[in-house]
Amino acid sequence: MDFESIAKSAKKAALKIADLSADIKNKALLAIANNIEKNKTEIFAANKKDLTEAEGLVAKGELSKSTFNRLKLDENKMRDMLQGIRDVAALEDPVNKKLFVRELDEGLTLYKVSCPIGVLGIIFEARPDVIAQISSLAIKSANAVILKGGKESINTNKAILGIINETLDNIEGFPKNVLQQVFTRDDVAEMLKCDKYINLIIPRGGNKLVKFIKEKTKIPVLGHADGICHIFTDETADLDLAIKVIIDAKTQYPSACNSVETLLIHENFPETEKLLAALQLAEIKLVDNPDSWAFEHGDTTLAFKKVKNLDKAINHINTYGSGHTDSIITKNLENAEKFMNKVDSAGVYFNTSTRFADGFRYGFGAEVGISTNKTHARGPVGLEGLTIYKYKLIGNGHIVKDYVDGTKQFHHKDLH
Amino acid sequence: MDFESIAKSAKKAALKIADLSADIKNKALLAIANNIEKNKTEIFAANKKDLTEAEGLVAKGELSKSTFNRLKLDENKMRDMLQGIRDVAALEDPVNKKLFVRELDEGLTLYKVSCPIGVLGIIFEARPDVIAQISSLAIKSANAVILKGGKESINTNKAILGIINETLDNIEGFPKNVLQQVFTRDDVAEMLKCDKYINLIIPRGGNKLVKFIKEKTKIPVLGHADGICHIFTDETADLDLAIKVIIDAKTQYPSACNSVETLLIHENFPETEKLLAALQLAEIKLVDNPDSWAFEHGDTTLAFKKVKNLDKAINHINTYGSGHTDSIITKNLENAEKFMNKVDSAGVYFNTSTRFADGFRYGFGAEVGISTNKTHARGPVGLEGLTIYKYKLIGNGHIVKDYVDGTKQFHHKDLH
């Protein structure tokens, strides 16, 4: 099937799933988890096939060892994947929520109601557990999706989505074509052009992938390219607290997008030497060249720079940062307040590690990704980010003319 | 100044105005209204100049009579413009609102707080009152803007923005360059490419302008190109109610985007002849060719079509409509419910005129425009659509490691 036909059928599916009951969606999710569990041997076998091919590529130097590791689906990842699907089933239904009810006039009532966005295009790299995660989020939020996974995990992806779609075929009332998969680069090129049918693109992967996609499409893209996070150690910072937070933010998971990349230190902070020594002791590699100020290391390298004052720190972050997550360590409440108001990032933290920027830690239950956008959704994005709203207006022959000529007046009464 | 320097200074201004107090913003708005009122003779003189030039263009057939009329600023429009600015001052501050407060764990509290988007690019056609309206909305929502008005109203726009900026220069604490104006087509081309500094483009004008802009930029665009609204007269519709609502939706202001363009009639509706006769009596010009199904007439022309059932009506609307506003006339509650859930439009109405789709009528106080987007903001957009949010996380040395190794657990307690 050509891409446009796939996209067209996704749009049709989106219109059908839009008002599916929470019951059917949750039933589908639990059945999917059960069927994946029942057929895990088949999935492991498909994954084995991918791994064997990938091994050859690693040997030839065409695939990195870390991609190979992400590709591997073991019992632990399988368990987390199943738990993830069941967790999504247990979450509150994000659609058909009344966001407000307002009586505009007697007998004329306006409802703002959450609803799905429509068709999502998801482009993701190696990790095969993403396909189950995204599929369950799409079902729960009543969106149709077109998935394009990394070519390294093609057998695993086919096996997992095959089981998911087989399950959905047996759920009464569940529409066809809610979850579809494409496989080639040409499909991606078509997807990025397909603004007629696709409402939102979500890239999950490294910053090269995300930058490429943002560059090539006019469809809204939800995500982040870079995670250049900062910690500013203010003049009055507590040394022990600073050491503890910075070590966590840099070493707890260095390749995560919410790990700290640059440490700014107030030039009058009296314990800079002790702080830097402690970080080095924790095997953090300190560098102080300006080239690394707009660079995501992804390892235990940490750029550092002394700054004259709070304003200079804020200015540095707003200039070189990526609007992801930035933290101040201080005892000065006024400075903390100013930092959080003036730093233009999705997350602005006070005396805490940047690593907390995460949908699960924020209590969203499931995460679509982290957005550095300034519209629609910002920061860790849960199911809410896959919804929009519509306005329902219920009247009884109400006409605008009466309000224009003064026969009637709006009273705009919010009902709770 | 070249466009990039303007955009750069707008970004700087955006960072400064972001946390300006509501007091200063409201003081600025009231001072602007007073100064415009004081200097209205100057503004009328500038408008006279634009009108004289425009008259020549109308005579040569290079400008339409209706554009000429929109260009004219009279005492009535001036009064509405001043009232509009003062109304915006009286609205609730849309920024720095706590959207939720959640204790993630003891001493670790997450705040979701509304904040401005950043830099808006506004492109608008002839109407000179738009500049005051957009400027006040930008100030209230703490965004910087770059304005590009129609060339026909250049003198009026310069006069109005001149007075506004002179006023702002005298407000203590109000940052420079929050409101800037550009004038050429080249500036528009630069603006559409300037995704480094501009966060949102809002076009205000005809559908040609909006389509052109959506085509040419990767920056999010808030607005609507077409307003192809439908009314479906169901089998059980009340004849009198249908006549009243359809006449209002078509004739109360035919060139508005929320006017009805297509009437769908259930083939078993027993009073079709009477309905059509009544519409013709109201000087509505009925047409029934398929060419007009995806067409916004903007006058008293109304396409009509008989449909077999509710599903066909919904399908017609989702195929040919523009996702703006669509209404069902029926006595059947189940059909009304189904229509409102299945029609994929910003506004889905029941027994009421499509002309209600408007920010003032919805009670938003001020309106940026109407959006048919499926992300960020949909339907009539008030000040809320000019905001996004950030997450503030306040801890006391909290680190992620403790939660990963199980030393601590999140308790995710919402505080009210």
Neighbour-count burial of B405, counting CB atoms closer than 10 A to its CB (0-12 exposed, 13-18 middle, 19+ buried)? exposed
Q: In whole angstroms, what is the distance from residue A360 CA to residue B110 CA?
A: 13
Contact status, residue A383 vs residue B339, Cβ threshold 8 Å: no
Q: DSSP of A314-342, one letter per residue?
A: HHHHHHH--SSEEEEE-S-HHHHHHHHHH
Partner B contacted by A350 (CB < 8 A): yes
| pTM of the predicted structure, to 2 decimals | 0.95
Residues of A in contact with B400 (CB under 8 A): 248, 252-253, 353, 355-356, 361
**pLDDT higher for A130 or B10?**
B10
Q: Do B363 and A104 touch (CB under 8 A)?
A: yes
Task: Report the half-sphere exposure of A18 (CA within 13 A, side-chain side).
Answer: 26
Q: Which CATH architecture has domain A3-222+368-389?
A: 3-Layer(aba) Sandwich (3.40)
**Residue B397 φ then ψ, to 5°:** 85, 20
Quick one: pLDDT at residue A17? 97
Helix (H, G, I), strand (E, B) or coil at A261: strand
Report residue B278: phi and psi, to 5°: -65, -35
Find the residue in B nearest to A220 (Cα).
B220
* Of A365, A283, A307, nearest in space to A85 by CA: A365
Q: Give B60 to chain A, closest Cα distance, Å.
A: 36
Q: What is the mean pLDDT of residues A301-330?
A: 97
pLDDT at A104: 98
Mean pLDDT across the stretch B355-377? Answer: 94
- Give yes or no for residue B205 having a pLDDT over 90: no
Nearest CA in chain A to B104: A362
> In whole numbers, what is the pLDDT of chain B averaged over residues?
95
SS3 call for A407: coil
Q: How confident is the model at residue B216 (pLDDT cuts 50, 70, 90)?
A: very high
Closest to A250 measured CA to CA, from A299, A288, A289, A291: A299
Write phi, then psi, for B377 (nearest 5 degrees). -145, 135
Residue with tokens 């695939």: A63
B351 touches chain A (CB under 8 A): yes
Whole-angstrom Cα distance, residue B333 to residue B331? 6
Amino acid at B58: V
A363 vs B245, B247, B412: nearest CB: B412
Query: Which amino acid does the sequence have at A279?
Result: L
Dihedral class, residue A30 (left if φ above 0, else alpha if ψ from -120 to 50, else beta): alpha
The mean pLDDT value for B80-84 works out to 93
Nearest CA among A244, A323, A314 for reference residue A284: A244
Mean pLDDT of chain A: 95
DSSP, residue by residue, B275-304: HHHHHHHTT-EEE--GGGTT----SSEEEE
Confidence category of residue A63, pLDDT binned at 50, 70, 90: confident
* In the predicted structure, residue A220 carries a pLDDT above the cut 90: yes
A102 contacts B363? CB cut-off 8 A: yes
Counting residues of chain B whose pLDDT is more than 90, the rounded percentage is 88
- Asked if A199 and B375 come within 8 Å (Cβ–Cβ), the reply is yes
* A214-243 residues touching B, CB cutoff 8 A: 214-215, 217-218, 220, 238, 240-241
Rounded CA-CA distance A168/A407 in Å is: 54
pLDDT at position B365 is 87
Quote the minimal CA–CA distance from A50 to chain B in Å.
30
Q: Determine the average pLDDT of the residues in A132-148.
A: 96
The answer to whether residue B202 scores a pLDDT higher than 90 is: yes
Look at the block and give the residue holding tokens 């439009």. B345
Q: What is the pLDDT of residue A115?
A: 98
Contact A179, A165 (CB under 8 A): yes
Say if the Cβ atoms of A248 and B404 lie within 8 Å: no
Give the C-alpha separation, B132 to B147, whole Å.
11
| pLDDT confidence of residue B225 | 84
Mean pLDDT of B374-402: 97
Q: Give every CB contact of residue A382 below 8 A, 6+ residues apart in sequence.
A: A359, A362, A364, A365, A366, A367, A368
Q: Using the predicted structure, report yes or no on whether residue A126 has a pLDDT greater than 80.
A: no
B127 falls in which pLDDT band (50, 70, 90)? Answer: confident
pLDDT at B126 over 80: no
Angle at B137 between CA B133 and CA B142, to 5 degrees: 150
Average pLDDT over residues B132-161: 95
Say yes or no: A389 contacts chain B, CB-CB below 8 A.
yes
Q: What is the pLDDT of residues B219-230, one digit of tens each?
A: 999 988 889 999
Contact B48/B71 with Cβ under 8 angstroms? no
Mean local confidence (pLDDT), A168-174: 97
Q: Closest by alpha carbon to A191, among A399, A2, A393?
A: A2
Q: What is the pLDDT of residue A127?
A: 82
Q: Residue B59's pLDDT is what? A: 93
Contacts of A275 by beta carbon, 8 Å cutoff, 6+ apart: A233, A239, A242, A243, A246, A265, A269
Tens-place pLDDT, residues A33-51: 999 999 999 999 999 999 9
User: pLDDT per residue over A232-258, tens digit each?
Assistant: 999 999 999 999 999 999 999 998 999
**Among candidates B247, B252, B246, B251, which has minimal Cα distance to B234?**
B246
Q: Is the dihedral of CA A274, A277, A281, A285 positive or negative?
A: positive
Overall average pLDDT of the A52-78 stretch: 91
Residue of A104, A241, A348 lying closest to B361 (CB–CB): A104
Using pLDDT thresholds of 50, 70 and 90, give the confidence band for residue A288: very high
Interface of A with B in 308-347 (CB under 8 A): 318, 336, 340-342, 344-347
In this prediction the ipTM stands at 0.95
* Sheet containing A285-287, strands listed edge to edge, beginning at the edge strand earlier in sequence: A285-287, A301-307, A260-266, A229-233, A325-329, A347-352, B387-398, B108-116, B98-105, B413-415
Return the pLDDT at B366. Answer: 84
Count CA atoms within 13 Å of residue B93 on its CB side: 19
pLDDT band at A145 (very low <50, low <70, confident <90, very high): very high
Specify whether domain A229-356 bears CATH 3.40.309.10: yes
| Nearest chain B Cα distance for residue A56, angstroms | 34
B364: which 2 tokens? 């938003």
Single-letter code of the amino acid located at B158:
K
**pLDDT tens per residue, range A380-409:** 999 999 999 999 999 999 999 999 999 999
Cα separation of A265 and A251, whole Å? 19
Q: Which residues of A touch B380 (CB under 8 A)?
A: 391
- Can you tell me which residue has the tokens 């041997």? A41
Predicted local confidence at residue B129, as pLDDT: 85
B174-196 average pLDDT score: 96
Average pLDDT of span A109-121: 98
